[in-house]
Structure formats: structure tokens, C-alpha cells
Structure 1
Amino acid sequence: MKPPEYPPKPVPGDRVAVLSPSSGLPGLLPLPYELALERLRTEFGLEPVEYPSTRKTNSTPQQRADDLHAAFADPDIKAVLASIGGDDQITVLPFLDRELIRAHPKPFFGSSDNTNLLLFLRNLGIVGYHGGCLMTEFGRPHSLHPLTAESLRAALFTHGPYELRPAERYRDTDRDWADPATFEAEPDSEPAGGWLWHRPERTVEGRAWGGNLEILSWLLMADREIERDVSAYEGGVLFLETSEELPRAEEVHRILRNMGERGLLARFPALLMGRAKAWSFDRPNDLQARRLYADEQREAVLRALATYAPHTMAVFDVDLGHTDPQLVIPYGGLVRVDGPARRITVTY
């Protein structure tokens, strides 16, 4: 498989598609969504275009696929942005027209359940962008986080290298999106502590592959969009993160163990592990419990690496995935992990 190609970028004034390939949550919780649309217009200079299922709950996989086809085929649409994630985007994949989308490559932004589409695009030869969901990033309470905004602007509008920087502070707790007061104040945050490096003796440059760990496990179970010949991933940079469902450390280890048994882990000489989401409305952990959760997840990852990829370099607590701030990772794009210099550079 040849390396994926970067599609043309939008410029201020362009129209961009706003879709819900997973959950139609904008129809249930409009406040962060409407805020995101306003920021797209006023802070990024882009004109959002909605589609029939964007605000529709319980839309069918075919309806969501139809929206994707319409957005990619429209020459006036210069990028496609997901409103949010969900849990059933895997059911949309069989309805997608590969030839239509391959013939009209465009930047796609999304994370979480959008790992499905990002992997689908990579397999078509199109670089996508892991990050930038409307409701979680563009619709962040009070204002966009400066690191998120900078990364989004670079990924949306520019080509070339971009150095990721560790956050000084991060947010793990959330507030009620149905309450207008949520969006009036800057969210609570806590010291981030920097990235943690494992085996940083060398420099690795390769194409990014991965995404949300739970979604990847479903794709593996369904035998969908993942190469059976794992040599196709040789020399790549693996990036992983977990969701607000807070999978137990043992479950994280089991998923990675199964990836190791398939021969996947050993193909990647570098791993970027997103900062663990350790709080949810169902499990409102206090600070001590959140730190314990993150420590246990890190130990689970290291245990799997020790068994299946003992020479892989790893960087933990990178601000990717279910994090605030959130850094955009070019899915299928180049990533350089410089262990001796403790630097990570992506190519947007």
C-alpha cells in the first residue's frame, strides 16, 4: 500500500460539512454544538453546512452514509467535520462508496468513534485528522483551549511540520451540557506534569495509525479495515487513547495482548499513548482515584509492550483523544518521535 496523500486544505471563507456519522447528539444537546458553529464562522472564517442527519437522533447507517457521500462529492465543500463520536459508526462502513470518496479526497476531522472513518480513509489513501470534533473541541466551555486552537488551525489550514507541545494544565472533569452556566466559566484544570518517556534512545519517523483503543478492538473483532498482513504497518507510529467509558487496566492489557498475538504491536517502533480519561458522570473519580487509574493503565500498556514489543519507544500522557487540550494527529500522516530530544513533530 502506498503512503496516504494529504488532501487539499480549506481557506477562510470556504464551506465545510458538519456531519454526525456516529451520534446525532446535536439534536439533544444544542448548546455546545451551536457554540461550535459560531466559532467556526467567527474564529476560523469557515461556513458550516449541515446535512439531514446532523441533528437527527436514531438516523440509520444508510442515512449517515448518504450525508458523507453528499459532502465528499460536493466540490464547494472543502473539509468534513464530525459533530461528535458515538458507538456505532462501524455499522456505517458497509454503506460507504469507496470509489466516490477516493475520487473526492477532503480533510476529515473527528476522534473517538470516528476512528472508524479515519481508518477507512487511510485505507483509501487519504490522510485524515484525529481530533477536532465540533461539540467537544470547538464547543468547549468559555473558549477554545489555546493549544487546541493552535493545533486545529495548523491542521485545518497549513501543510508541513508542526511540533506538539505538552500541556501545562489539563481538564478531566466535565459539566452538564444542558446547563447554559456550563459555558460561561473556564473549566477546572489541574497541573499536567509533562510527557513520560519509555525507552527514548532513538528517533522514529513513520505514518500514524491507531486511534481509540476500544474502537480498534471492535474493528479487530469484526475483521474490518485492518490489514491481515500486519507487515503493512511496519515502521509506523502507533497512537492510542481510551474513552470516557474508562476501560479497566486489565481490559486495556487484554486488548493490547490480542494485538500483540496478532503481531501488530511489534510492527510499531514508537507508541504515543494519550492522557487517560479518568473521570465520567457515571464514575466521578476524585483526584487520587484519577491518578491511580492513569497509573494502572500505564502499567498495563508497559506490561503488554514488555511481552510483545520490548524495543518500542513509548510516550505517555500525550494530549490526544479524550483530552482537554487536544492535539490533532494526522491519521496516516507523518509523525516523528525524537527520543533523545524529547520532541514529537507531526506533518499536517
Structure 2
Amino acid sequence: MRTFTNVPKATVGDRVAILSPAFAAPAVSEAVHEQAMRRLTEVTGLVPVEYRTTRQLGASAEARAADIEAAFADPSIRAVLATIGGDDQITVIPHIDTDILASNPKPFLGYSDNTNLHNLLWNLGVPSYYGGSTQVHLGPGPHVDDVHVASLRAALLDGGIIDLTDPGESEDFGISWTDRRALEEFGIREPTEPWAWAGATTVAEGPTWGGCIEVIDQIALANRMPDVADLDGAILLLETSEELPNADTVKRWVRALGERGVLDAVAGVLVARPPVSELHSAVPLANERTRLRAVQRDTIIEQVARYNSEAVICVGVPFGHTRPQWIVPHGNTIRLDGIARTVSADYN
């Protein structure tokens, strides 16, 4: 099993890097971005520091890699936060000097396309935190969601072991950033469904690995996956993006992880509540949204069980492409208690 280095926490007043390692979302709406920066300081006491490509649309892979290196190399920077994901971070990874990241470990927060950078850090033995987008979870809306604040502070400042809970409501996307209402209103929220538990009725506890399954597919094709032996006893994190892959596509991805040996190696699988509404388009009716989530849930459970009947599976936890969102450890431990049906995460 992969071992991980101890990454120190920040303290109030420290500086943290704000990067756009994939898409430079702040360039679309500086108002949302600047509100996010104010709120970050309000809820953490930390000081955001932007880099050359943070607001630069179309920045080269080399330039974005240089910002990543600079943020990790600077001893005054105590953590690195991504503004959002994207779709081409896979091209950034080869330009990163891995010795700099390995020699200067610090918390990295992001999700979606940032699965690429999480995977790189994981392979270097540096734990990170899957979740958090300043442009999605800090800037928009009337306030920052409580579960996001709790996990943001745990990841950056406080540490601790936290029981993940269901906030009871969820939105697939918010108001368009170019609409002034985005600064004051949430998107359309609906009640959540109970989390689904399947597999063995036991306790699975281990270091986490995974992320957005569309990106894991790219990582595999680029031959950057961890060795299967390093995933022995791990908790696999899986989530899907706003591109809304259908259940058959998700089935093929999960089945391929089974054929690779990943599903047999892990002790448990934690699956996020998926978005099922197309971004800023017509929203399916409530019964159709429920059906789409259920079909994906059943497909994943079926494929995991096919390869590993002893794995503990929990589906529906709000991480990844949803809001409210828990930021969850990537590399540190998550405990899936299939008996008590609870999920706890170690942010130490």
C-alpha cells in the first residue's frame, strides 16, 4: 500500500495560492472570483495569492505548469487551491517538475479535471483533498455552504476526523456567472435521496484514490495510473461530471477498472451524487432526475460487485460535481462503516 508524507496545516494569516491549472474561470466573471477571494479570507483567515495564469484564458500548458511549480516551491505558500476544473490538465502534467512537488508537500484542493494533479501527487506520496472550486463553491450564492466550510477548514487549518453528513439539498449547477444574480442566489436546489449502501456489511477503511471517472479514463490511456498493488485496501472515489455520461458509458469505465484489477484491490468504493441536469439548459422533470441517478447508482454497484463482492459501497455522498459539496481526503483515510452506515474522513 502506498505510504504518504505528513503535510503541515496552515495557520491564520498564512498565504495560499489560487491557481487555474485547467480552465481560467475567473476570466469569465471577475466579480464572482473576487467575492470568492473575500469569502476565503472570511471563513479561513488565509490570504489568497494569485499567479500569472489564474485569470488568463488560453494559457499554455507550460505556463500553467510553471505556476504550479512556483506555488509549491514558495515556502510562504501553505496550500494550493484550484479555481475550477477544465478538460486539458492532462497536457499540463508532463511539464511539472515532480521533484519540486515531492520536496515541498502542501495541501492541494480541486476536483474534476484536477484529478490529474491529484493522481500525480498521490503517486509522489503527497496527500491532497478532492473538492473545492473557488469559482463554484466560494464565489456564487448568498453564502458558503456549511459542509463546505467545515471540510475547507479541516483540509487547510483544523484537521480532525469528521463524519460526512447529507445536507439535505443539492443543486447540479448555479446561476450563470455573467448574471449579477449569481453573486446573491443559489441555483435550483432539490431534496437529496438517502445514500445507498451495498456490498459487504462490514467496515472498510483505507487511503483514498480516484476522482472524476472521465479523467481517470484519460489517466489510464496516458499510462499514469498507480500500480494496482499500491491500491490494495484503498477506498476508491468515483464521480461523474456535468457532461452527464450515460449509464452505459459509466458501466464501461467501471468495468475497465475491474479488468485492470482496481476493483478487486480496493476495500470500498465511495460514489458521489451525480449531476443529471445539463448546464444552463432545460432541467429534466423530478422523476426523470431521480431515475437517472438511480440507473447510474445501480450500474456502478453491479459492476463493483461483479469484481469484488467483499467491497463496501456507498453511493450518493455530496462530493465532486454538486453543491453543497464535501471536500474529501485524497490519500488520507476514509472509513465506510457498512454496519452503522456512516462515512468518516480523516483530515489530519
TM-score (norm 1): 0.96
- C-alpha separation between the residues in 2 aligned to 1:206 and 1:217? 23
* Larger mean Cα displacement after TM superposition, 75-84 or 229-238: 229-238
Distance 1:283 1:66 in 2: 40
Partner AA of 1:254 in structure 2? R
Q: State the secondary structure of the residue aligned to 1:43.
A: helix
Is contact 2:210-2:236 (8 Å) kept?
yes
Is residue 312 of structure 2 the alignment partner of residue 280 of structure 1?
no
Distance (Å, rounded) in 2 between the aligned partners of 1:8 and 1:47: 17
- Which residue of the partner structure matches residue 168 of structure 2? 168
State which of 246, 249, 252 in structure 2 corresponds to 1:251.
249
Q: Distance in 2 between matches of 1:186 and 1:67?
A: 31
User: Does residue 295 of structure 1 match 2:320?
Assistant: no
Unmatched tracts of structure 1, length 5 or more:
none
1:260 is matched with which residue?
258
Matched residue, 1:52: 52
Residue of structure 2 equivalent to 1:111: 111
Q: What pairs with 1:1-348 in structure 2 (closer than 5 Å)?
A: 2-224=2-224, 226-227=225-226, 229-281=227-279, 282=281, 284-348=283-347
Q: Which amino acid in 2 is paired with 1:237?
A: I
Task: Give the Å deviation of 1:173.
Answer: 4.1
Q: What's the offset of the Cα at 1:31?
A: 2.7
| Aligned partners of 2:243 and 2:278 also within 8 Å | yes
**Is the 1:6–1:333 contact (alpha carbons within 8 Å) kept by the matching residues of 2?**
no
Identity over the aligned pairs, expressed in percent?
A: 39
Secondary structure at the aligned position of 2:150 is classed as helix
Deviation per CA, 1:222-267: give whole Å up to 9, x if none. 112x13x412211110111000000010000000111111111111
Quote the Cα distance in structure 2 between the aligned partners of 1:140 and 1:85. Answer: 16
Deviates more, 1:296-305 or 1:62-71: 296-305
What is the Cα deviation at residue 199 of structure 1? 2.7
Q: Number of aligned pairs?
A: 346
The one-letter code of the counterpart of 1:287 is A
Contact persistence 1:81–1:132 (CA under 8 A) = yes
1:299 shift after superposition: 1.7
Contact 1:160/1:347, CA 8 A, preserved across alignment: yes
Hey, what's the Cα distance between the residues in 1 that align with 2:97 and 2:182? Answer: 40
Secondary structure at the counterpart of residue 9 of structure 1 = coil
CA separation in 1, counterparts of 2:173 and 2:94?
Answer: 35
SS at match of 1:22: coil
Residue 36 of structure 1 aligns to a residue whose secondary structure is helix
Q: Which moved more, 1:254-263 or 1:4-13?
A: 4-13
Instruction: Report the alpha carbon displacement of residue 283 of structure 1 after superposing the two structures with TM.
Output: 5.7
Deviation at 1:140, TM superposition (A): 3.1
Which has the larger displacement, 134-143 or 178-187? 178-187
Please list the CA deviations of residues 181-212 of structure 1 after superposition, one character each: whole Å capped at 9, or x if unmatched.
Answer: 12223443221132111135100110101111
Instruction: Report the CA distance between 1:118 and its aligned residue.
Output: 0.7
Distance 1:64 1:286 in 2: 40
One-letter amino acid matched to 2:231: Y
Is residue 62–residue 95 contact of structure 2 (8 Å, CA) maintained in 1? yes
SS at match of 1:75: coil
Moved more, 90-99 or 156-165: 156-165
State the shift of 1:325 in Å: 1.0
CA distance in 1, matches of 2:237, 2:282: 25
How many angstroms apart in 1 are the aligned matches of 2:92 and 2:276? 29
Checking the alignment, whether the CA contact within 8 Å between 1:151 and 1:327 is kept in structure 2 is yes
Which secondary structure state, in structure 1, belongs to the residue aligned with residue 147 of structure 2?
A: helix
Secondary structure of 2:67 counterpart: helix
CA distance in 2 between partners of 1:309 and 1:213 (Å): 19
Change (3 A) 1:316 1:163: same
Whether the aligned pair in 2 keeps the contact of 1:167 and 1:194 (CA below 8 Å) is no
Partner Cα distance (1:132, 1:173) in 2: 14
Aligned partners of 1:26 and 1:83 also within 8 Å: yes
Partners of 1:84 and 1:134 lie apart in 2 by 7
Could you report, residue by residue, the CA deviation over 1:261-318 in whole angstroms, capped at 9, with x for unpaired residues?
1111111121110001111225632322211210111121122123222222111100
Which deviations, in whole Å up to 9, do the C-alpha atoms of 1:143-170 show, x marking residues without a partner? Answer: 1111111111112112331211122122
8 A contact 1:19–1:54 mirrored in 2: yes
Rounded to whole Å, the distance in 2 between the matches of 1:286 and 1:243 is 19
Aligned-residue offset at 1:2: 4.1
CA distance in structure 2 between the partners assigned to 1:149 and 1:276 by the alignment: 21
